[in-house]
Amino acid sequence: MSVYKQIHSLPQPTLLREQHYQYLKKGLRHLSDAYECLDASRPWLCFWILHSLELLQEPIPAAVASDVCQFLARCQSPTGGFAGGPGQHAHLAPTYAAVNALCIIGTDEAYNVIDREKLLDFLWSVKQPDGSFVMHVGGEVDVRSAYCAASVASLTNILTPKLFENTTNWILSCQNWEGGLSGVPGLEAHGGYTFCGTAALVILGKEHMLDLKALLRWVVSRQMRFEGGFQGRCNKLVDGCYSFWQAGLLPLLHRALYKEGESELSQQRWMFEQQALQEYILLCCQNPTGGLLDKPGKSRDFYHTCYCLSGLSIAQHFGNMDNHYEVILGKEENRLAPTHPVYNICPEKVAQALQHFLRMPVPEVSRQPGG
Amino acid sequence: SPPPKCQMTISSIVMTLLFGDRKEWADLEPVPQDDGPNPVVKIAYSEKFSDVYDYFRALLKNDEKTERAFALTADAIDLNAANYTVWHYRRVLLQALSKDLKEEMKYITNIIEEQPKNYQVWHHRRMVVEWLNDPSEELRFIADILSQDAKNYHAWQHRQWVIQEYKLWDNELEFVENLLEEDVRNNSAWNQRHFVISHTTGFSDPAVVEREIQYCLNQIRKAPHNESAWNYLKGMLQDRGLSSQPGLLERVLELKETHCSPYLLAFLFDCYEDALENITQKEKVEEEEQKETLRKALEICRLLAQEKDTIRKEYWEFLGRSLRNKYGNGALSDEPMAENPEPSISASQSQEAS
């Protein structure tokens, strides 16, 4: 690839910061009717856009931040948790997105939106006896729900061992013969579900119970040798969003292996080809008018904008206890802020939220588990 | 009074009245969405969308359980099939109004055919099948969806649920084999193969294992660069240990000459690593053998990292260092040191204490 550039004198790949910023700034306020299909995912739109802006290190004006807080407050269900829009039922996915968005904003107004007692009631209402969680009352089970529940419970300090009783074993039963994790036990290993299951176990402190070597082999094998990006499943096509779901597993596994006493880990690189992933994102996943996408020929959207940028950040930043190495393809201006590989918001925002909520007592349970 | 407004959709020639102009709905006050005074992520809903959902919110608010409410849920779903609140409400109405669930099966069949990658539609189908306790249409229906997209994750999930819940294992291995005939690279089909066998005969029976090894090697001969087949071979054997299967290493070494691939080499590495794990320190000859096995394993790591699978260089170099650390010893220090030092620091990198 670099020889081609030398020969053809191509400019260095450039992150189209200004174009992405305008696309995001507009979307945070107004979306066309093409977004009717996401009318039950509006907290997601808040998270995807706010996280993209924080990665680009673009400040969120205080008035906008306050408006987001008030909107998400309207998405909060009277029985706890957050819904896809005002007046809808609570669901773990928009709950995850809303809590993350509020933590990105990180003001007291944002933190105060969350009704912690009711949130805990909601989590109990979707908990199943086998350790899994349904995504919403009367809804489906898959490993995303465990991640959403663990993420919001840990950030807001409402997590108790009882809430996640049996959850570890249920998640472990999702690791299959391929080494990755499936959505429910028995299915094919898949990047999105593997990320959710692994990150949930990291939050619960149980990631060492996975077959880490098999998982590592599976995820590194998902990087495409020609495209440089990642596929979601074996023998499927590359997609920019897996830049986060798949590549984001390498920091998690690095730390897990380190904790297990692995002595031969690199001190400078994640175990994937960081430069190749950056090349794929910058050369193949940018819309020239702003926004990022799956692969050339596909349309831009805020989901791909968020996860392509998140993956680019992972590929740029290596960090462990002692050091922080950067690998920036192209100009220094391509550099994004680092992102936390468990929560996918910036590490400072994670620390700040934890600090805020750890001062509060864990709420008493007022409802019984569902199922 | 002004004439009622009509909506003509581009995709159909049916003209429909807005709910706001229908006499049968005149008693109900629509409820506009409460986005607040300074909305964010505000969607520019079409007039039709706002109309339907304003009335949906009204029904929800009144907890209305009528035929007209049921009819409206279909419109709401048509506008946004991902609205799980509407689906939940439709299920409440199906039960409250004792609706014909066989008709509902027809409805959900059509919706899934139109939107097969949506979570809610498949969950709804599962609920109806459970209520009817009738899986008789499922395998054929799912096969039809898979004929359009052989890797649809929701379809496979529903299929596994039906098979397990209603014990419909009998013809599934045949179904899988047909799919693999069509596309030997269909990883979903390989997964289903593993699913069926592990829940029926299991992988403990040596006859089954030998049959599966044979099957894999045949598929590999036909398509050597098919990662799925290699992953299945390893996945099936890894619990027992790759070196537990006599003659397998030799068969793979044979294939190396004519059907080599990065996957074959990785499989060899795994065989050598497994052998090292299981070596007993009984005789002196074992120690030489161990050194030779280690040497072969490290050579494969080097080959993969530097030539055959360079995208995974960091990984193969890590494995090489790990293996050397675990099984190498002082006696090996006069061997040429494999080139797995830390990558040199690049100009663009900075360092800050975290």
A74 counts as catalytic? no
Give the model's pLDDT for residue A320. 60
Give the model's pLDDT for residue B331. 40
Residue of chain B whose Cα is closest to the Cα of A48: B41
A33 counts as catalytic? no
3-state secondary structure (DSSP) of residue A30 = strand
Task: Give the pLDDT band (50/70/90) at residue B333.
Answer: very low
- Check A234 against B187: CB less than 8 A apart: yes
Give the model's pLDDT for residue A82. 98
Token pair of B335 as six digits: 């061997």
Give the model's pLDDT for residue B282. 55
Give the model's pLDDT for residue B332. 46
Q: State how far residue B151 is from chain A, nearest Cα, in angstroms.
A: 9
**HSE-up of residue B47 (Cα within 13 Å, Cβ side):** 11
Contacts of B88 in chain A (CB under 8 A): 89, 136-139
Does the structure's ipTM exceed the value 0.90? yes
* Residue % of chain A over a pLDDT of 90: 94
Q: Are the beta carbons of A31 and B43 closer than 8 angstroms?
A: yes
- Check B325 against A263: CB less than 8 A apart: yes
How far is CA B215 from each of CA B209, B210, B218, B252, rounded to the nearest angstrom? 10, 9, 5, 14
What is the DSSP secondary-structure string of A129-155?
Answer: TTS-BBSSTT--B-HHHHHHHHHHHHH
Q: Distance between CA A195 and CA A250 in Å, rounded?
A: 10
Whether the predicted pLDDT of B349 surpasses 80: no
Q: Which residue has the tokens 């398509």?
A: B223
Average pLDDT over all residues of chain B: 91
Of B44, B83, B238, the CB nearest to A32: B44
Whether the predicted pLDDT of B283 surpasses 80: no
Of B43, B123, B343, the CB nearest to A31: B43
Token pair of B315 as six digits: 């990984």
Whether the predicted pLDDT of B350 surpasses 60: no
Burial of residue B331 (CB within 10 Å: 0-12, 13-18, 19+) is exposed
**Cβ atoms < 10 Å from Cβ of A208:** 12
Task: Give the pLDDT band (50/70/90) at residue B9.
Answer: low
Whether the predicted pLDDT of B335 surpasses 80: no
3-state secondary structure (DSSP) of residue A113 = helix
Residue A235 contacts B, CB cutoff 8 Å = yes
Domains of chain A (ranges plus CATH)? 15-29+37-358 (1.50.10.20)
Give the model's pLDDT for residue A11. 76
Could you tell me where the DSSP H helices lie in chain B? 47-62, 67-79, 84-96, 101-114, 119-132, 138-148, 153-166, 172-182, 187-199, 206-222, 227-237, 248-258, 262-278, 284-303, 313-327
Average pLDDT over all residues of chain A: 95
What residues does each domain of chain B span? 9-99, 112-168, 175-240, 242-329
Give the model's pLDDT for residue B1. 57
* Residue % of chain B over a pLDDT of 70: 87
**Taking a contact as any Cβ pair under 8 Å apart, which residues of chain A between 176 and 195 contact chain B?**
176-179, 183-184, 186-190
Give the model's pLDDT for residue B7. 60
- Chain A with chain B: Cβ pairs closer than 8 A: 221
Contacts of A183 in chain B (CB under 8 A): 153, 157
Give the model's pLDDT for residue B354. 28
- What are the φ and ψ backbone dihedral angles of B178, each rounded to 5 degrees? -65, -45
- Check A268 against B343: CB less than 8 A apart: yes
Of B41, B123, B325, the CB nearest to A140: B123
A301 counts as catalytic? yes
Whether the predicted pLDDT of A366 surpasses 80: no
Whether the predicted pLDDT of A358 surpasses 90: yes
CATH topology of domain B9-99: 1.25.40
Weakest mean pLDDT among A5-9, A192-196, B300-304: A5-9
Give the model's pLDDT for residue A5. 57
- Check B44 against A85: CB less than 8 A apart: no
A196 counts as catalytic? no
Weakest mean pLDDT among A2-11, A142-151, A211-220, A321-330: A2-11
Residues B143-163, mean pLDDT to the nearest whole number: 98
Residues B38-60, mean pLDDT to the nearest whole number: 98
